[in-house]
Every structure is written in structure tokens, then in C-alpha cells.
A and B are shown apart, each in its own frame.
Chain A
Amino acid sequence: MSLAATYKLGARLFWRDKAMLAGSVITPVGLTVGMPLLMRHVQADGVAWATQTFYGSTALVLSITGFMNIAVALSMRRDQLVLKRLRSTMLTDGQILAGEIASTVTQTVALVVGCLVAVRFVADVPFPDNPVVFVAATLGGAVCVAVLGAAYTAAIPRAELAAAMTVPVFLVCGVGAGAMGPLLDLLPSWVRSVFDLLPTSAAVHAMKTGEFAAPALNLALWTLAGLVAIRLWFRWEPRRS
């Protein structure tokens, strides 16, 4: 009952916050639909390019709508002492975070699937060969980045810095998964192999190829690391020293 309540609260707050919506929905959706559309029309081999760019860009949805959104929301609520107030209710710490993570995950998955449908029609990007793996990888990736985003708040000293501090994360995730088109191919190979270890890269790889085992292991390990970090370092109240 209480997890449902925090889930509902997280969703309600998300769709109500217009400024946040602009940043965490319009930007990634614009890129994820817009870039493939552009590629489709400027490149000779348009559909292949559009497909490539679309899958890369889903890493942006994961890292902006998933990671950045939860990191900003949680650090703001921490600094405004809202998390503290929530903790004065019957909710357990786990329910508070799980509700927030679950609502972030829903939004992220909905956007990725929405973008998939959109690019099918505007840029002729074919539906994935294995839709089950696509959805599972989206879900797994979304859970993973939301957990990591919650853990990341421990490193954010003040809420004003939250958005700025997540920029490098989504740049790296975006480039690493190929969202910036050919940019990835210009990088030295060791950088590329490091990028391949990112959870967003693993999720995108699974979505694109339908391969499941290795990406699932990658996501599970990152998620576990995030949970451990939350346990060790998550701060419910602003720093006072």
C-alpha cells in the first residue's frame, strides 16, 4: 500500500513540475526522435544511420529522464527537508526510495517506447527483431540508472549543483552508446571499450541486438553497486558541516 502511495506521489510530482518536464522529457525526446529524423534525410544510407542514431540516443533518455531526473529530484527534496518529512511518516526508507525509483522507471520506459514508435513512423527505423528483449533491456536499464541516480545524490553537495553535476554523466553515456553518431568511431579503442562497460551502453546493446546475457549481467552488477552505495552513503538530510 505504501509503495503504491510513494509511486503515485513520485509520478504526480513529476508530471506537475513543468520546468522539470521540459528538461527531462522534451530534450531527450527531441534528440531521440529528431536526430534519427535528420540522419534519415541527410545521409545516403539513411535508414541504417537513423537506426544507429536512434539506439544510441535511447542512452540519452536513460541518462536524462532516468538518471538526471531522479538525482535532481532527490537532492532537491533532501535540501528542502521534504525527505526528512517523509521519513517522519510510517513509510520506511526503502519505500520512499523505491517509490521514487519506480515512478522514474515508468516515465523512462514510457518515453523510450514512445520514441521507438515515433521513429518508426518519421524515420522508417524498423521495430526491433526481438521486442521482448528490447522492453526487458529498457526496463533493466531504467531501473539501473534510477538506482545509480539515487546513489549519485550522495556526491551532490547542494541541490543547485545537481543538474550541472549530471551533465558529464549523460554526455559520456550518450557518446558511449553512439548517440552522437560517428563521434564514437573517432575515439581510441581503449576509450570505446571503457564506454562499453557503461550500463547505458549495455542496455542499448541489448535493445539493438537482442543479445541478453552479458548486458543483463552488466546491469545487475551496476544496480547492485548502486544499492550498496545507497546503503552506505545516501543522505536524507542536507549537509550541515
Chain B
Amino acid sequence: MTAIQVSGLVKRYGAFEAVKGVSFEVAEGEIFALLGRNGAGKTTTVEVLAGFQRPDEGTVRVLGLDPAGQRGEARRRTGVMLQEAGFFPDLTVARTVDTWRDFTAAARPRDEALRLAGLAHKAGTKVRQLSGGEKRRLDLALATLGRPEVLFLDEPTTGMDPEARRDTWELVRGLAADGATVLLTTHYLEEAQRLASSLAILDGGAIVAAGGMAETLAAQSGRVAFRMPPGVAPDELPLPVTLEGELAVCRAEDPDLAAQTLLSWAAGRGLRLTGLDVRAATLEDLFLDRSTS
């Protein structure tokens, strides 16, 4: 079953086209990462999906519903963590959660929500006194309060410390394991790689890479890097390399094989390859490769 469907989405701000014909689908129970540089159009896409804005062209469906046209029904079944939204500064954390529980059908108990977000010790603190990361945790607690079927998280872990980020990953994985569909945006590519099972990379409002995480990464070349042996010119090497300072970098679909080729070439010449680093493609490689600056 498809939980989120975006086809040919165009969104303009005045004459500026922020999203230029984006299409993707997210299956039920899947964690999907929407990636891209600043200004790529992630938040715009999320806001359309959450029903805050109407598409200028194309259609979006969330659980088969039009999020703007059938907002009431769509909101009952979705949770949203916006990139930017305000709190009531004079309410305490506990009061804020209580207030939100009044708005939320089948809400988690307050203490459970606070514990999941790692905020139990701040229950009595006024929201205006929270740190940036603590506010983000409260944001997360509110977005997940009603155990939504579809959850939109726009940069959920920005400003969180490493432990809070890990807690957030656990929370998101738990929700997905219980059947929730999660669409998240992040600038932490390692986070996306660990958490999401599929992804799309936006660049200048258009998709430049998309698909399952494993397949997409497998199709991307890995990397072998080593210090250039003194007195060797790049074209003497058995494989093409690019120089990054004193490092020679070789891109290869099978980086293990490439490393072996390079090592046996070096052994034949009585050379040592120092600083050798072999790794499969990461999301960061893919990202830097596909998105233009």
C-alpha cells in the first residue's frame, strides 16, 4: 500500500518555482528520507504534504486523502514536526503536553510522551527556558503524541546532542515498526542512511536521485584512497585516479577489487601504498555527486 504519493508537484512563490515537478511514493510502514541542500525545496514539499499549502500543479495524496482539501481527516491521521513553529512560552513543558493531549485523539499519556522525548526531567520548566535541542525534543513529543499513521519530520534532529539524536532514531524506528510511515528531512546524511529505507535527493526543486537506500547506494561507486607514492605519476597507475591534495582517489563500483588491483601493482614495483582507505559508497558520496552547488 502506498501511504504518500506525490506526482508532478509544482509549487511557486510568486514567480519563483521552489518545487519543479517532483514525483515520489512512500510505501506504508516505510521510513523515507527527503534530502537536499538548503533551499532545495524540502520544507515546501513537506508543507504541501501536511496541507499547509496547496500544490500549484500536480497532486499529492496522503493515505489516499488530499491533505489541503480534506485537511480535517488528513490531520487526524498524520503528525507533523515543522522545521519552524512556536510554542506558548509561558506554559511549562508538562502543561504544553497536557494542552496538546486535549487536542489529540487517543493521545499517549503525558509521562510516556515526555519520557520518549527525553524530557521527563524538564516537565516543570517553562518552555521559554528550554534550550534549542530541548525545544526540538518537545516538538517531537507533540508530533508523535497521537501515534499518527503518517509522520512528517522536517529536520527533527537539528540542534540535538548525539544522545538525543539516537533516542530520536529509536523512537522513529519504533513507530515505523508499529506500522507508521515516516517522511523525514535531514542534513545529517549518516542519519538518513541509518534510518531510512528509501530516499529522494532534491536539488533546485527537482529530484536528482531516488530509490531504495541499499540499491541506490550499491549503484554508486565506492572509493579507494591512498597517499600517492613519491616519484609516481598518476598515469602510471593501473586505474584512473583523481588527486585530492597528496591523496590519490580512485572511484570504483567494486572498491575491494580496485584495492587489490592497486596493491598487487604496487607489490610488483616494490612500492608501499600508505594511508590506504577502502570504502563502499556512502550517502554523502551520492549526495555530493548529485547535488550541484
A interface residues with partner B (beta carbon < 8 Å): 1-2, 4-6, 8-9, 12-13, 16-17, 77, 80-82, 84-92, 241
Contact = CB atoms under 8 A, between A and B. Distances in A.
Contacts of B103: 2, 5-6, 86, 89-91
A77 B88 CA distance: 8
A239 to B, nearest CB: 12
B14 A88 contact: no
A84 B91 CA distance: 17
Given A13-B88, A84-B82, A85-B87, A90 B76 contact: yes
A90 B84 contact: no
A221 B104 CA distance: 35
Interface in B73-116: 75-76, 80, 82, 84-91, 99-100, 102-105
Contacts of A87: 52
A190 to B, nearest CB: 44
B72 interface: yes
B82 A82 contact: no
B201 interface: no
Given A89-B104, A92-B72, A9 B99 contact: yes
A77 B102 contact: no
A80 B86 CA distance: 5
Contacts of A84: 52, 82, 85-86
Main secondary structure of the interface of A (DSSP, over half): helix
Nearest to B85: A85
Contacts of A85: 82, 85-87, 142
Interface of B: 14, 50, 52, 71-72, 75-76, 80, 82, 84-91, 99-100, 102-105, 142-143, 146
A88 B88 contact: no
A13 B90 contact: yes
Main secondary structure of the interface of B (DSSP, over half): loop
B76 A88 contact: no
Nearest to A96: B103
Contacts, number: 63
B14 A77 contact: no
B11 to A, nearest CB: 14
Contacts of B99: 5, 9, 12
A18 to B, nearest CB: 9
A192 B82 CA distance: 50
A157 to B, nearest CB: 18
Contact of A8 (B76, B89, B102): B102
Contacts of A8: 102
Pairs of residues from A and B, 5 with the lowest C-beta to C-beta distance, nearest first: A5-B102, A80-B86, A85-B85, A81-B86, A82-B86
B87 A88 contact: no
A35 B89 CA distance: 36
11 contacts: A1-B102, A2-B103, A4-B102, A5-B103, A16-B90, A84-B86, A85-B87, A88-B82, A88-B143, A89-B104, A241-B14
B65 to A, nearest CB: 14
A6 B100 CA distance: 10
Given A5-B103, A88-B80, A241-B14, A82 B88 contact: yes
Contacts of A9: 99, 102
A113 B32 CA distance: 57
Nearest to A240: B13
A8 B102 CA distance: 10
A81 B85 contact: yes
A90 B105 contact: yes
Contacts of A4: 102
